[in-house]
Structure 1
């Protein structure tokens, strides 16, 4: 099973793809998509295009994303909701099933500690997935954690 994990952001969007076979995980691909355009709508078009290319290049079976959470900044939450909507639409366009996970559940699955910080998540992602020779970006490692959480929770 090939799992796509997504860590949405309006400027930086984490991608992580894992293969799960017989209870073992293998890192297939991960990256951080930097959305550079100043215009939000053009950034969303870029995100759509990148997700379309990614799902065409990697025949993923399932996708997972962190559940939205309520923050204090309404504008940021509104923008993030739109980003999540674009990602959801791109997945639906490919008929990919999507599962949502709470941040605490994701951290617990990967690190064993539901309140792990971003550095702990990045270190454990590299360790558990045997990623050597490069440092994982925070968005990238969060996306891998989401994919890992899905693999652990989906039988």
Structure 2
């Protein structure tokens, strides 16, 4: 599986491509940052992020794009910019028919380091170790993008099993409802005797 991880941000949008399967060594194919000028118009910045992500999609042709799920922060301006960059990444992938997966920061940290409260230095160190790199990717946004890709590759088998179990359960419920409806439809209607009809008629008067 080849996954493009995207750590969304307006000024620095981390991107990283990882290839492999769960349980086996993973390989980094590329890592970098899509940058935009902080003093540029928001529309221009979003177009710049779009072009940057499109270039990565053209170059590496990933099977899936993993994006960090936006969560509430005290700085509303920061979370808005993150959400806008995240939307651009999802749009670029969806326009090409590439599936998109969202992972929270705590999910990524837990998958890569074993702790959902790990700091950026710990995440960078584990990414370096897992991908057998000579040094942690810089800046931290790039390391976070690789961590997103690693997280999805490792979590995908479990998620697929869960989705299959849910689908199987829904199928069983649908079959049970269908069988119950058929039994009810095929059940013989109870005949009404003249005495019963007279009693019913009497009660309705």
TM-score (norm 2): 0.72
Q: 1:117 to 1:5 in 2, by over 3 A?
A: same
Normalized per residue, the structure richer in strand is 1
- 1:53-105 CA-to-partner distances (Å, cap 9, x unmatched) read 11011110011111111012222222222111111111111111011111111
1:94 matched to 2:96:
yes
Q: Distance in 2 between matches of 1:146 and 1:78?
A: 20
Asked if the contact 2:3/2:18 (under 8 Å) is kept, the reply is yes
Q: Distance in 1 between matches of 2:31 and 2:77?
A: 28
Whose RCO is larger (CA < 8 A, sep 6+)? 1
Q: How does 1:64-83 map to 2 (within 5 A)?
A: 64-83=66-85
Q: 1:135 to 1:100 in 2, by over 3 A?
A: closer
Q: Distance in 1 between matches of 2:80 and 2:13?
A: 16
Q: Aligned-residue CA RMSD in angstroms?
A: 1.5
The aligned residue for residue 35 of structure 2 is 34
Asked if the contact 1:122/1:137 (under 8 Å) is kept, the reply is no
The aligned residue for residue 19 of structure 1 is 19
Q: Give 1:134 deviation, angstroms.
A: 6.2
- 1:28-62 CA-to-partner distances (Å, cap 9, x unmatched) read 11111221262221111111111111101111001
Q: Distance in 2 between matches of 1:35 and 1:23?
A: 37
Q: Distance in 2 between matches of 1:70 and 1:134?
A: 28
Q: Mind listing any 5+ residue stretches in structure 2 that lack a counterpart?
A: 158-205
Asked if the contact 2:66/2:149 (under 8 Å) is kept, the reply is yes
Q: Give 1:14 deviation, angstroms.
A: 0.5
TM-score (norm 1): 0.93
Q: Give 1:135 deviation, angstroms.
A: 4.4
Q: Distance in 1 between matches of 2:82 and 2:107?
A: 20
Q: Give 1:22 deviation, angstroms.
A: 6.3
Q: Distance in 2 between matches of 1:106 and 1:121?
A: 9
Normalized per residue, the structure richer in helix is 2
Q: Distance in 2 between matches of 1:35 and 1:85?
A: 16
Q: Matched residue pairs, number?
A: 155
Asked if the contact 1:65/1:98 (under 8 Å) is kept, the reply is yes
The aligned residue for residue 85 of structure 1 is 87
Larger Rg: 2
